[in-house]
């Protein structure tokens, strides 16, 4: 990129950092920050979080002996400085792209990524695992978990702290406290951490007086001075060090070096940082440039391409707000993702009825169950992949008790740059398996509006509707949603030879497949199933009776909609004759990041793929054009 980075140019691996003086490490951090800004300016990605840990990343790799010591990044979205220092500087231009490096840590990508991430709050558990392995003689060094103030709001982090504190093994937890999640943090823990950090926030930490005392005290603590008050973490068996300024290289190096030499049990080092540090547009942005598209590194202006149609997320937020205007019982729950789910739109209309529970999907689901049991109409808006975190709560607290919780499942199907960890692949299967559950999928954004209305009107038990990430199809949005008849699909194209039964947003691809098939002289019926549970058994019977080939299509893994249709066809005897059935799903493997269309091509779910499968089945069954 033509920028002058003499220190960074010397680093091809962290071992090269051992010879640098502390002053040179400070320069290295400045060069590293500049490198990350200019790299992400081209690729887009999680800029703010990465800029917040530049000094911390340099100090950790300078003090610890990675990769023997295991550095585990929670979520891993902040790992770009780590990737630059660990031999992937030359690949950063491929970040989050097909065939490129992941936007998160990934074991298969580097020995410096000892544990994959992307879903939050796993790092302390993993670090404890590595610590036990070390103590049982495995060839591994220290374990260091770096977890943010948002991620430590998840229950799983406390399960890990609870266990690690009791086991008492040597391990390090770095609490990266930048007072931000994706949105401003919520919860009592956030307030507690702010009280602990006190005036040691980075801006203040440079000032003489109490902040400097905090930093001095942090160093004294590491050298054995007794703390005058115990923190939650100490009461859980951790040595608490801090708060320290996570951008002050001297503090970081001295505290980490002392902790590494002196500690023989679990240690938590509380680092105060700034999300977006060192890049004005990020520091000043409300979201601290948490997730950005490519941008001008001089001005921070992002290259936002004009959408062809409003996003499903926006349509959802507006439709739910509209329903809530007419229904005072309607409330909405997000797990730390108000903007990602569109509940920020809902909250702009109904601020008192939107609950952000933090990164706490398990709690969010059962909280919604309590709201429903209390007589309200909760809409739990959680991405498909993150809803996996609350599955037992869906089974045990919602479905088993048949409580009318509504699940708005965004990011259903393949999501693009976030890759395999964020794919919304499994919700159809994991929800249709549950008694009492109603499962819908929107084939376009108009259908989504009707499904919001359907869910708002449905009080007989739990109901879920899924929809994909990104722009809608551009269809006209109805003024107001109308409740759909539960368990009823519809035929959108009438033919006689081949039937395609589509569930969800792949209906448009199914229509294109029908065009390809009809060019071969056959006629195709296309139906929008709308429901995976309860199935429209009358529609399925009509398709099975009148066609020799039946194809099911879904943006989901095996064991979902197609499986439900197969169960029905088999049990009703439709498979005893000469009906050819093919189920088109995501393949039984994880699909790495790329453009969604390319990912669906990799998955074998394009219109061409659907047509080829149908034509092959027709040929086998001598269906003549």
Ligand X SMILES: CC(=O)[C@@H](O)[C@H](O)COP(=O)(O)O
Task: For residue 361, indicate whether it is catalytic.
Answer: yes
- Which residue in the set 96, 350, 411, 530 belongs to the binding site for ligand X (CB under 6 A)? 411
Phi, psi of 157 (to 5 degrees): -65, -35
Q: For the chain, what is the radius of gyration of the CA atoms?
A: 26
- Which residue in the set 55, 177, 418, 445 belongs to the binding site for ligand X (CB under 6 A)? 418
Task: Map tokens 């081209």 to a residue.
Answer: 42
The enclosing H or E element of 233 equals helix 232-235
Q: Number of residues interacting with ligand X: please give it, by CB under 6 A.
A: 11
- Which residue in the set 40, 415, 452, 599 belongs to the binding site for ligand X (CB under 6 A)? 415
The enclosing H or E element of 500 equals strand 498-503
Residue 119 binds ligand TPP, judged by CB under 6 A: yes
Residue 389 binds ligand TPP, judged by CB under 6 A: yes
Task: Map tokens 């792209």 to a residue.
Answer: 97
**Any binding-site annotation on 361?**
yes
d(CA 433, CA 581): 21
**Any binding-site annotation on 12?**
no
Residue 365 binds ligand TPP, judged by CB under 6 A: no
- Which residue in the set 43, 57, 78, 606 belongs to the binding site for ligand TPP (CB under 6 A)? 78
**Any binding-site annotation on 347?**
no
- How far apart are CB 510 and ligand TPP at their closest, in Å? 31
Pick between residue 64 and residue 312 the one whose CB is nearest to ligand X: 312
Pick between residue 118 and residue 274 the one whose CB is nearest to ligand X: 118
- How far apart are CB 29 and Mg ion at their closest, in Å? 19
Residue 77 binds ligand TPP, judged by CB under 6 A: yes
**Any binding-site annotation on 234?**
no
For 133-282, where are the E strands, in sequence order? 143-148, 171-177, 239-245, 266-272
**Any binding-site annotation on 150?**
yes
Looking at beta carbons, which residue is closest to Mg ion?
148
Window 434 to 463, contacts with ligand X (CB under 6 A): none
Binding-site partner at residue 411 among ligand TPP, Mg ion, ligand X, none, CB < 5 to 8 Å by type: ligand X
Pick between residue 83 and residue 290 the one whose CB is nearest to ligand TPP: 290
Residue 420 binds ligand TPP, judged by CB under 6 A: no
DSSP letters along 298-365, please? TT--B-PPPPSS-BHHHHHHHHHHHHHHH-TTEEEEESS-HHHHTHHHHHHH-GGGEEE--S-HHHHH
C-beta atoms surrounding 3 within 10 Å: 9
Pick between residue 288 and residue 411 the one whose CB is nearest to ligand X: 411
490-493 β-sheet, strand order: 490-493, 524-528, 498-503, 549-554, 580-584
- How far apart are CB 184 and Mg ion at their closest, in Å? 10
Phi, psi of 409 (to 5 degrees): -110, 95
Window 169 to 188, contacts with ligand TPP (CB under 6 A): 176, 178, 180-182
By three-state DSSP, how is residue 551 classified? Answer: strand
d(CA 290, CA 46): 5
Binding-site partner at residue 359 among ligand TPP, ligand X, Mg ion, none, CB < 5 to 8 Å by type: ligand TPP
Task: For residue 220, indicate whether it is catalytic.
Answer: no
**Any binding-site annotation on 151?**
yes
In this structure, what DSSP letter does residue 393 have?
A: I
Window 5 to 64, contacts with ligand X (CB under 6 A): 46
- How far apart are CB 302 and Mg ion at their closest, in Å? 21
C-beta atoms surrounding 508 within 10 Å: 14
| End-to-end Cα, the chain, rounded Å | 59
- Which residue in the set 336, 453, 477, 484 belongs to the binding site for ligand TPP (CB under 6 A)? 336
- Which residue in the set 59, 72, 75, 369 belongs to the binding site for ligand X (CB under 6 A)? 75
- Which residue in the set 39, 102, 120, 123 belongs to the binding site for ligand TPP (CB under 6 A)? 120
d(CA 205, CA 186): 24
- How far apart are CB 398 and ligand TPP at their closest, in Å? 18
Report which of 413, 426, 378, 428 is spatially closest to residue 398, judged by C-alpha positions: 378
- Conformational region of residue 582, where left means phi above 0, alpha means psi within -120 to 50, and beta covers everything else: beta
Mark the segment that binds ligand X (CB under 6 A) among 24-32, 189-197, 229-237, 410-418: 410-418
How many residues appear in the chain? 625
Q: Which two tokens stand for residue 321?
A: 């707000």
Mark the segment that binds ligand X (CB under 6 A) among 9-17, 108-116, 244-252, 411-419: 411-419
Residues with Cβ within 8 Å of residue 21, at least 6 apart in sequence: none
d(CA 293, CA 303): 6
Task: Give CA torsion, residues 463, 312, 529, 372, to 10 deg.
Answer: 10
Pick between residue 75 and residue 175 the one whose CB is nearest to ligand X: 75
Phi, psi of 16 (to 5 degrees): -70, -15
Residue 106 binds ligand X, judged by CB under 6 A: no
Task: For residue 275, indicate whether it is catalytic.
Answer: yes
Cβ contact 365:155 at 8 Å: no
d(CA 123, CA 143): 10
Mark the segment that binds ligand TPP (CB under 6 A) among 28-36, 116-124, 131-139, 560-568: 116-124
**Any binding-site annotation on 279?**
yes
- How far apart are CB 120 and ligand X at their closest, in Å? 7
The active-site residue out of 33, 83, 134, 275 is: 275
DSSP letters along 93-116, please? GGTTSTTS--SS--GGG-TT--S-
266-272 β-sheet, strand order: 70-73, 143-148, 171-177, 266-272, 239-245
Pick between residue 274 and residue 513 the one whose CB is nearest to Mg ion: 274
Mark the segment that binds ligand TPP (CB under 6 A) among 148-156, 314-322, 439-447, 513-521: 148-156
Find residue 270's DSSP bridge partners.
Answer: 175
The active-site residue out of 83, 353, 389, 493 is: 389
**Any binding-site annotation on 239?**
no
**Any binding-site annotation on 120?**
yes
d(CA 289, CA 338): 15
Binding-site partner at residue 151 among ligand TPP, ligand X, Mg ion, none, CB < 5 to 8 Å by type: ligand TPP
- How far apart are CB 180 and Mg ion at their closest, in Å? 4
Pick between residue 33 and residue 96 the one whose CB is nearest to ligand X: 96
C-beta atoms surrounding 599 within 10 Å: 22
What residue ranges bind ligand TPP (CB under 6 A)? 49, 52, 75, 77-78, 118-120, 148-151, 176, 178, 180-182, 275, 290, 335-337, 359, 386, 389
Annotated binding site for Mg(2+): 149, 178
The set of catalytic residues is 275, 361, 389
The site for ligand X (CB under 6 A) is made up of 46, 75, 77, 118, 182, 291, 340, 411, 415, 418, 469
């Amino acid at each position: 990129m033509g920028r002058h980075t003499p220190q960074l140019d010397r680093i091809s691996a962290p071992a090269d950092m051992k010879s640098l003086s502390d002053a040179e490490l400070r320069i290295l951090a400045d060069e590293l920050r500049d490198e990350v800004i200019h790299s992400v300016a081209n690729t887009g990605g999680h800029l703010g979080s990465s800029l917040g840990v530049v000094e911390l990343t340099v100090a950790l790799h300078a003090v610890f002996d990675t990769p023997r010591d295991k550095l585990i990044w929670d979520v891993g979205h902040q790992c770009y400085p780590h990737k630059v220092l660990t031999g992937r500087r030359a690949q950063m231009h491929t970040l989050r792209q097909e065939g490129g490096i992941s936007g998160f840590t990934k074991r298969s990508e580097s020995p410096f990524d000892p544990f994959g991430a992307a879903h939050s709050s796993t790092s302390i558990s993993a670090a404890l695992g590595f610590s036990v392995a070390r103590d049982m003689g495995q060839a591994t060094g220290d374990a260091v978990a770096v977890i943010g103030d948002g991620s430590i709001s998840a229950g799983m982090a406390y399960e890990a702290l609870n266990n690690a504190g009791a086991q008492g093994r040597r391990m390090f937890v770095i609490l990266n406290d930048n007072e931000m999640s994706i949105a401003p943090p919520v919860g009592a823990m956030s307030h507690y951490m702010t009280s602990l950090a006190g005036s040691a926030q980075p801006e203040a930490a440079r000032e003489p007086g109490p902040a400097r005392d905090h930093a001095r005290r942090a160093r004294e603590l590491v050298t054995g001075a007794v703390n005058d008050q115990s923190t939650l973490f100490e009461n859980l068996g951790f040595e608490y060090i801090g708060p320290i300024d996570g951008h002050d290289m001297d503090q970081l190096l001295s505290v980490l070096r002392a902790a590494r030499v002196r500690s023989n049990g679990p240690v938590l080092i509380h680092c105060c940082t700034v999300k977006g540090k060192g890049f004005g547009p990020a520091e000043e942005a409300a979201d601290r440039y948490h997730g950005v598209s490519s941008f001008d590194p001089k001005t921070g202006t992002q290259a936002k391409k004009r959408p062809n149609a409003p996003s499903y997320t926006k349509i959802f937020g507006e439709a739910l707000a509209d329903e809530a205007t007419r229904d005072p019982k309607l409330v909405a729950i997000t797990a730390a993702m108000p903007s990602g789910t569109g509940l920020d739109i809902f909250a702009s209309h109904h601020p008192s009825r939107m609950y952000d529970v933090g990164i706490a999907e398990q709690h969010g689901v059962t909280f919604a169950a309590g709201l429903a049991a209390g007589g309200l109409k909760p809409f739990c808006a959680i991405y498909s992949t993150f809803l996996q975190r609350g599955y037992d709560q869906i089974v045990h607290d919602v479905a088993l008790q048949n409580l009318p919780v509504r699940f708005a499942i965004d990011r259903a199907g393949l999501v693009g740059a976030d890759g395999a960890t964020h794919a919304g692949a499994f919700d159809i299967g994991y929800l249709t398996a549950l008694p009492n559950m109603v499962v819908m999928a929107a084939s376009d954004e108009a259908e989504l509006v009707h499904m919001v209305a359907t869910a708002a009107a449905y009080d007989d038990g739990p109901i879920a509707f899924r929809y994909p990430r990104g722009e809608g199809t551009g269809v006209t949005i109805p003024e107001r949603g109308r409740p759909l008849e539960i368990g009823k699909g519809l035929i959108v194209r009438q033919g006689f030879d081949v039937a395609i039964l589509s569930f969800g947003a792949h209906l448009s691809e199914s229509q294109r497949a029908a065009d390809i098939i009809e060019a071969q002289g056959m006629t195709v019926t296309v139906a929008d199933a709308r429901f995976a549970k309860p199935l429209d058994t009358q529609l399925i019977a009509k398709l099975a009776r009148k066609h020799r080939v039946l194809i099911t299509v879904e943006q989901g893994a095996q064991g979902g909609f197609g499986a439900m249709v197969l169960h029905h066809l088999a049990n009703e005897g439709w498979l005893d004759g000469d009906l050819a059935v093919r189920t088109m799903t995501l393949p039984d493997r994880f699909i790495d990041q790329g453009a969604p269309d390319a990912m669906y091509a990799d998955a074998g779910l394009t219109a061409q793929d659907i047509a080829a499968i149908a034509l092959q089945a027709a040929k086998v069954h001598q269906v003549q054009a």
